Each structure stands twice: as structure tokens, then as C-alpha cells.
Amino acid sequence: MIELRGISKSFGAVQAVRDVSFTAHDGRITGLLGPNGAGKSTTLRVLATLLAPERGVGQVDGHDLAAEPLAVRRSLGVLPHSSGLYPNLTGRENIVYYGRLQGLDAAALAQRAEELTVLLEMQEFVDRRAKGFSQGQRLKIAIARALVHAPRNVVLDEPTNGLDVMATRALRDLLRRLRNEGHCVLFSSHVMQEVATLCDEVVIIAHGIVVAHGTPEEIRARSGSETLEDAFVAAIGTGEGLQ
């Protein structure tokens, strides 16, 4: 379970996040929806303890962000916005490297890498050097890498960016599967339809503030709109950044 309360973060004069609070529960897919520049990536970086918030607190499975950053990171599987691989390592070596840094022992790690290879259907390329991978192959390895230690909480920053239809579908299936296994799945997106089809809960964020929070149905009903898209536009005030 992920909880953020009153998070704010600025870079110099730019206030990237003003006041973000939400809870993402286990067994639910929570979507962080907002236009470009709304503060989604910054929020997720604060959550991953890459950035320290100016104000606000957060917990992952009861571990405090500020007090136990290593425990927080151990409980999280993070797929950042840019997740490059090591081009001179094979796909499997990329996964194993992260597993070792997560503290897994060799035998468990080999087994886990094989599981993930089957789960993400990577048998064909997992033992090739990452240098020549396609966008979709890279993403699969990056996801496997993030899941190598079987984290309870999975955080993905705009994971579907640049993916083709098949890869997007495969990713959706994976996220649903993780949810059904009881994981807490949190992902950010600026694509309305994606969030609408996939999420159990939606957090709409604009200008660094959470403007709406609930199930898609609740958000729609509360704003009195016909569709979630209308509700989104009503919530953020303008139609900027919509796709």
C-alpha cells in the first residue's frame, strides 16, 4: 500500500508539486492522470525516494519515505520514465544485475529470471545483447528488471509511451494480472482512454495539485459529466494536454 500526504516539491522557482495526497491500495490499479507537466513524474520520484519532498510525508507498506528509504525501495518495483538498459549486457544479465543488487541469491535469481522470461514472453531475445532491442523488447526487460524481487508495490511512469498496440495490450494484461495477485499497482499516464480502461482508482493531478480522486464512476458522477473525459476536463479546468 502506498500513501502520500501533502507532498510538495519545487526546483528553483518552479513549483512542480504543490499538494499531492492519495492512497493506492493493494489489489487495485491506481492511475495517476494529468496533462504533461502536471507533476506526475516528480510525485513518483518522491515516492521512489529519488527526490526529497519539501513538505509532506509518505509511506510504502508502513515504511516512511524519509526515515527508511532503503526499506521503501525494497518494497517498490519502479519503472521510471526513462529506463535504459545496459547495451552490452544480454537481457537476462540486465535482469540478474538488478536481482543481485536487490539482494537475491543466485539460485533464486536464476529461477526468477526464467519465470519472468516466460511471463513476459521474452524467450526469443532474452539472451541477446540489449544493443539491438526494439522499443517493446526493451520495455519488457525493464519491467522484468523492476519486478525481479517480486515487489508488493509496482510503480510505472508513463509505461505505454511509444509502445505499439500489441505491446500496450500485453502490458495491460500484465498489470491486471499483478492486481489479481494482490499487488498494489500505481501508474501514471496522460492518456485518458488508457486510464479509463485499466484503472480501479483514478487520481487526477493538475498544476501539482490533486483535483479529483476516486473510481472512474465516482469521478464522473461527482462532476455531473457524461464521460470520464468530460469529468477530467472539468476537473483540471481546461482541455490542455488531452489526447
Rule CB under 8 A: which residues touch other proteins?
45, 48-52, 70-71, 73-74, 76, 78-89, 93, 97-98, 100-103, 129, 142, 145-146
Q: Is 235 helix (H, G, I), strand (E, B) or coil?
A: helix
Nearest CA to 212 out of 199, 200, 223 is that of 223
Nearest CA to 163 out of 198, 189, 130, 126 is that of 189
Give least dist CB 84 to other proteins, A. 4
Give least dist CB 112 to other proteins, A. 15
Q: Which is nearer to other proteins, 16 or 174 (CB)?
A: 16
Q: Which is nearer to other proteins, 77 or 216 (CB)?
A: 77
> Which residue intervals of 185-237 are DSSP H helices?
192-198, 216-223, 228-236
Provide the 8-state DSSP code for 226. S
Give least dist CB 44 to other proteins, A. 10
Q: Which is nearer to other proteins, 69 or 214 (CB)?
A: 69
> 210 near 40, Cβ under 8 Å?
no
Q: Which is nearer to other proteins, 97 or 218 (CB)?
A: 97
Give least dist CB 23 to other proteins, A. 21
Nearest CA to 22 out of 42, 4, 46, 48 is that of 4
